[in-house]
A and B are shown apart, each in its own frame.
Chain A
């Protein structure tokens, strides 16, 4: 075995084959995301005209100018341009007229315009800009040209508001359950009270309960309390649904803290509240961080809970994005920048705190 010859410690080191296989898989995994990132910087007209991979250097037709047909010419029959005759359909496909030159009809028949193209190495100076980001973030009117060359003017998607709403939902929905769960985990681990054990068994049972089971009754409660569409409703819902995992994870950690430190604190006359604030919380920071990242990603990326309890009022990024997919399927250029904006924050959190996140996953891999 070749691999044994390069054994390092007890772990076998793979050769080139291992790396090639992994590289292929990683490229497969990364390409869809790269595609949307590349698309989000492209001009709204280019997005519909060609695939995003064309922004990389390749040999392709380059537009060198326009040819206008005078208004008298009949565009319904065969059309003659620069000595070549073809039907409108053929012109739309593009017709080579010699000398490495190609003419292609631009947009619909009414434009009476053909673009002249030449085959060259292209993609070095791709037409990239931030217009899609501007358009999707804006709450005012936006203008862009669609694939047919028409200028479209309409209201922006106001994605910046959606980002703010997402923050207003996600930050408290992360911190509130942590606080509540830490108190409860401490009580379960270090306090005596009737029903302690059976209540904790209930927490474990609730870990895998599907959300769907709770949605209708909770929605009725929120309607009665006039909470629908408020941030408070979202905080309550996410706290309620996130608590089983939070209590379970934090219990596992807090119950492992050494008994001695509590005893000496109590001997010094500290109250349970003091012990909790001064000892338990600071000592549990790794566990709290693990759950915080887990819950933040969960809440930020949640769509179902937001769809039901927040509705169209105070849209968060996921529902704003989903609405764009549904209502305005033709505005793909905004969809790409919106999708990427929705990923920036979770990706940043994720890469910065990956270690804690992985630890949280391995500790509580039973989330329902």
Chain B
């Protein structure tokens, strides 16, 4: 950072400085465009291309800020006061508008048109979204995910957090429960495919799936679990519980640890037993955190996609809204319907958004 604004020291040759800035602008443009063109043609060596992509990508962004700021600093004082905040906040705002704000409006617009996005059909796509049997099945399944997924994630997370708080090996237990958080849904799908695997009725077969092996060991009959209507949804939900309980546990655990020790001490002196302390002291204190964790997991289960996509592809009665969105757009090419489904998802999340905004206003973090 030896180039940055030390212009207060001296004002030698203004023209020379302007020329230097212009040259820097050209270099920036060259790096940005040339790098991209080069990256497209750098197919031969994967390691080289990767390294170049990383360095170029990050370097370009840093360079862009540096040059933009330099340009803004060269302006007279009054223009500077407006332009420097623009340089700092501008890129983020541009990206937010390009990737989230405008797409929301454009998706809303598209949801009123047919599959070719040319014929206005008004609410026809929404009628589809609320009456089509597959959509209704998806709504039912998402409801199952939201209710059972959330109850098990938060419930188990809370139980583990409370128990682990009383154990000497707390860290080990928590690390094991939390570990699936680092695994992708696709990876988790593969892991659980092995648990649920079914080999069939052929002679000499030994079940290699853990679930079927256990069922057979206890005298039951092996099943193709993922094809089993009714059951399969809950088996998929188990995967989400496996993945997300760690999240609930960690957040709730740190909330439990923030319960003042004197409060617990006082309750014990008053003769309260442990369950009573849990329900009357701990729960009220961590209530806010419980609400946050619950809403986060509800949103998560509403948007759930990967697990269903990888495990069943939405077949055998396991479809969910996000998968149907994907199918409508990328399998059937029904842009209008897909857009309407996306809008339905957004509307379902609006209450949470309003709650967040209220919380934010109450905290008065923004001066």
Which residues of A are interface residues toward B (Cβ below 8 A)?
1, 3-4, 7, 9-14, 18-19, 21-23, 25-26, 29-33, 35-36, 39, 47-53, 89-90, 92-94, 104-105, 160-161, 164-165, 167-168, 171-172, 175-176, 179-181, 183-184, 186-188, 191-193, 197, 199-218, 221, 230-232, 235-237, 239-241, 243-244, 247, 252, 255, 269, 271-274, 276-278, 297, 300-304, 308, 317-319, 321-322, 325, 332, 335-336, 338-339, 342-343, 346-347, 349-351, 354, 358, 361-362, 365-368
A346 touches B95 (CB 8 A): no
A205 touches B273 (CB 8 A): no
A32 touches B242 (CB 8 A): yes
Closest to A33 in B: B191
Q: Mark B3-37, 1 if CB is under 8 A from A, else 0.
A: 01100100000000000000000000000000010
A217 touches B110 (CB 8 A): yes
Select one of B195, B329, B360 contacting A201, CB under 8 A: B360
Within 8 A of A (CB), among B228-265: 242, 247, 250-251, 254, 261-262, 264-265
Q: Mark B261-301, 1 if CB is under 8 A from A, else 0.
A: 11011001000011000000000000000001101100100
Select one of A22, A191, A211 contacting B163, CB under 8 A: A22
Closest to A36 in B: B191
B208 touches A365 (CB 8 A): no
Counting CB contacts under 8 A, is B38 at the interface?
no
Residues of A contacting B353 in the complex (Cβ-Cβ under 8 angstroms): 205, 207-209
Residue contacts A-B, CB under 8 angstroms, 10 given: A12-B166, A51-B213, A92-B204, A93-B203, A204-B356, A204-B360, A218-B98, A244-B100, A271-B73, A303-B184
SS of A interface (majority): helix
A36 touches B261 (CB 8 A): no
A81 to chain B, nearest CB (A): 15
SS of B interface (majority): helix
Q: Mark B332-356, 1 if CB is under 8 A from A, else 0.
A: 0001001101110110010011001
Distance between Cα atoms of A9 and B257 in the complex (Å): 13
Distance between Cα atoms of A230 and B274 in the complex (Å): 57
A-B contact count (CB 8 A): 374
6 interchain residue pairs of minimum CB distance:
A240-B99, A10-B261, A301-B184, A184-B92, A14-B166, A172-B57
A239 touches B95 (CB 8 A): yes
Residues of A contacting B195 in the complex (Cβ-Cβ under 8 angstroms): 32, 35
Distance between Cα atoms of A336 and B86 in the complex (Å): 49
Residues of A contacting B349 in the complex (Cβ-Cβ under 8 angstroms): 208-210, 368
Residues of A contacting B123 in the complex (Cβ-Cβ under 8 angstroms): none
Residues of A contacting B168 in the complex (Cβ-Cβ under 8 angstroms): 13
Residues of A contacting B299 in the complex (Cβ-Cβ under 8 angstroms): 208, 210, 368
A230 touches B85 (CB 8 A): no
Counting CB contacts under 8 A, is B215 at the interface?
no
Within 8 A of A (CB), among B99-121: 99-104, 106-107, 110
Residues of B contacting A171 in the complex (Cβ-Cβ under 8 angstroms): 54, 58
B101 touches A172 (CB 8 A): no
Q: Residues of B within 8 Å of A, CB-based: how many?
A: 129
Residues of A contacting B103 in the complex (Cβ-Cβ under 8 angstroms): 213-218
A174 to chain B, nearest CB (A): 10
B183 touches A346 (CB 8 A): yes
Distance between Cα atoms of A184 and B90 in the complex (Å): 7
Residues of B contacting A368 in the complex (Cβ-Cβ under 8 angstroms): 299, 303, 349
Residues of B contacting A204 in the complex (Cβ-Cβ under 8 angstroms): 356-357, 360
Counting CB contacts under 8 A, is B218 at the interface?
no
Closest to A256 in B: B365
A212 touches B342 (CB 8 A): yes
B268 touches A4 (CB 8 A): yes
B177 touches A11 (CB 8 A): no
- Given A269-B8, A350-B182, 18 more pairs with CB closer than 8 A: A22-B164, A30-B179, A52-B208, A179-B58, A183-B92, A207-B356, A210-B299, A230-B39, A240-B95, A240-B100, A241-B99, A241-B100, A273-B4, A273-B5, A276-B88, A321-B184, A338-B190, A366-B292
B279 to chain A, nearest CB (A): 15
A100 to chain B, nearest CB (A): 19
Q: Which of B61-69, B133-141, B144-152 contacts A (4 or more CB under 8 A)?
A: B61-69
Counting CB contacts under 8 A, is B50 at the interface?
yes
A104 to chain B, nearest CB (A): 7
B54 touches A35 (CB 8 A): no
Distance between Cα atoms of A347 and B87 in the complex (Å): 37
Distance between Cα atoms of A243 and B90 in the complex (Å): 13
